[in-house]
Structure 1
């Protein structure tokens, strides 16, 4: 069993790490935090009493692991960062809340999620946790806003659609962080959240093109169809390339292979960067130009990822290891 001192807070990554290391104890500043007592090992009650006292000497049968220096893989959230362990202070809980929130944040993602949403999403995630909202509740509200954005784009109400879309994008960030920070992740929640993320973008771009006629900037029907297929086909192609890369290279994401891949992920043709392009075009009253730029950027992104997949495949055939720069 794992025995924990609730005088401390820790990243959930430590639970998996300690579960894989029988007869060990995680320590912080010389005090025990988490202990893995194997079957046939010391009596759990004795270990628990020693942890209450903070008596590390009484745990000499367990291998000590120093939280300050131990190297631990953090691949799940695509970043290089030592998972936190810290003393709980009832008078100052925000320090731990911020650490838990930061630990739940992906290191390699798009620029809007990484920089624009991060601070407001922290306060909203904190409020949602205090209000007792579940991640699926947040996702459900976001799903309604996602549908509303589609309807508004379809009717050419672009600014209202952008507002609804951005609210959905923010809630999408909050739902994932809330699930990780409160330990309420579930298989259904993961399917619900990521399913919406995966499916809705092509429908948004379709609605955007359809709304151009109402807005007064229609595209030629044949050109509009070609543009839509370029955007949707490029989106599907990028997802397929990512899947092929993961399957071929041990589950590693293409975005964490080399530093250039992580930097390109900030701006690659996914929903959030595409929305930034569309908003920039709307500032000039040209939603038609915006969607054309999205099509162009999608083609560029597909070419970039296809080249990176080919380069990784060639290196692998030469016997060179394909390892993430975050490892």
Structure 2
């Protein structure tokens, strides 16, 4: 099926995330696979900034216009009607014969990826509205079920760093590169028992691990390389951190016995790999992530034995001068989390065998 084209009308010199609105729309067009020419065209009014979800939504809906406070902002029209529609949009007049969607409608639109209704932003773009729009844009990129630190502690820090990175022109891959160096430095610090140094370095890395993805989404600069690099680092480094922490307990003065060391390492490695396999199996069998099935699963994702919650356990142990207890606690929590994931997978299989539809509670 031929894709429509995406074109801009009007002009706007106001910068958003370090770029003009015309450049932002161009990046959206490229990222979403719009054709340079097509049998239909989506017209985008540069007086407004909008969530990229709107163009994704309109792509398959010719004959539709999205308005903000009665003014047409996005319109999917035929190529023949494009000039007339553009003139009406510039004048702020209605487009006759098109289905109208009001951007301010609280009902929102269906996010077909997350299978839930959302109300994407669409706001007049002026120098005065830039801070609010950037916050809305950032919030739009901060979707999904995640851990307690990423959800409640990181957002404001990461937002400010994302703004700064966009202003000075650091790319998402540049942030990932800085984070990768810090990740290695934290590993070395843990190995030598420099736990406070490692935690401080790791904290900066963990925040940057949020920034690179949000910067890519906000500036429309996601790439296959960046995505693979970011997710590759996320996937590989946690076991090395836990191993280094366990080894670092000896130079710190709280060495684990040989037997306890290997119990801890074996439990963490097995639990880490097994949980990832269970998550993958759940996606394959049921077409959704295990953490979006029921509300319990989303709530448990806040504290499940992933890197960030585990770091809280390690910090608690270090605060009382017992990093060895901290790593033992991580191993125990990894085992408990593995059991929870396995039980949820078996319960989901039983539900499907009973003929009950598997639907995310977020749908």
TM-score by length of 1: 0.95
> Which residue number corresponds to residue 174 of structure 1?
211
Query: Counterparts of 2:115 and 2:168 in 1: how far apart (Å)?
Result: 29
Query: Counterparts of 1:77 and 1:139 in 2: how far apart (Å)?
Result: 26
> Which residue number corresponds to residue 7 of structure 1?
47
Please, which runs of 5 or more residues in structure 2 have no aligned partner?
1-40
CA contact (8 A) 1:107 1:114 kept: no
CA contact (8 A) 1:78 1:108 kept: no
Shift of the 218–77 alpha-carbon distance from structure 1 to 2, 3 Å rule, reads farther
> Which residue number corresponds to residue 243 of structure 2?
206
SS at match of 1:106: coil
Structure 1 residue ranges, 4+ long, deviating more than 4 angstroms after superposition: 75-80
> Which residue number corresponds to residue 303 of structure 1?
339
Structure whose residues are more often helix by fraction:
1
SS at match of 1:37: strand
Query: Counterparts of 2:138 and 2:46 in 1: how far apart (Å)?
Result: 19
Q: Does 1:246 align with 2:283?
A: yes
Structure whose residues are more often strand by fraction:
2
Query: Counterparts of 1:256 and 1:68 in 2: how far apart (Å)?
Result: 27
When structure 1 is superposed on structure 2, of 73-82 and 256-265 the one drifting more is: 73-82
Q: Does 1:54 align with 2:89?
A: no
SS at match of 1:218: coil
When structure 1 is superposed on structure 2, of 17-26 and 70-79 the one drifting more is: 70-79
> Which residue number corresponds to residue 319 of structure 1?
355
Describe the superposition over 1:10-48 as per-residue Cα deviations: whole angstroms up to 9, x where unpaired: 11111211112122111122111111224xx54322222
1:257: Cα distance to partner? 0.8
When structure 1 is superposed on structure 2, of 65-74 and 114-123 the one drifting more is: 65-74
CA RMSD of aligned residues (A): 1.5
Alignment match of 2:73 (pick from 33, 40, 43)? 33
Q: Does 1:188 align with 2:225?
A: yes
1:165: Cα distance to partner? 0.6
1:78: Cα distance to partner? 8.7
What are the equivalent positions in structure 2 for 1:267-286 lying under 5 Å apart?
267-286=303-322
Shift of the 74–273 alpha-carbon distance from structure 1 to 2, 3 Å rule, reads farther
Query: Counterparts of 1:75 and 1:255 in 2: how far apart (Å)?
Result: 17
CA contact (8 A) 1:79 1:107 kept: no
Shift of the 75–37 alpha-carbon distance from structure 1 to 2, 3 Å rule, reads closer
Query: Counterparts of 2:116 and 2:216 in 1: how far apart (Å)?
Result: 19
Shift of the 66–80 alpha-carbon distance from structure 1 to 2, 3 Å rule, reads closer
CA contact (8 A) 2:142 2:214 kept: yes
CA contact (8 A) 2:110 2:116 kept: no
When structure 1 is superposed on structure 2, of 131-140 and 216-225 the one drifting more is: 216-225
Q: Does 1:115 align with 2:152?
A: yes
Query: Counterparts of 2:242 and 2:235 in 1: how far apart (Å)?
Result: 13
SS at match of 2:109: coil
> Which residue number corresponds to residue 193 of structure 2?
156
How many residue pairs were aligned? Answer: 322
Query: Counterparts of 2:145 and 2:157 in 1: how far apart (Å)?
Result: 19
Shift of the 80–254 alpha-carbon distance from structure 1 to 2, 3 Å rule, reads farther
1:187: Cα distance to partner? 1.1
CA contact (8 A) 2:67 2:73 kept: yes
Query: Counterparts of 2:237 and 2:346 in 1: how far apart (Å)?
Result: 29
CA contact (8 A) 1:109 1:265 kept: yes
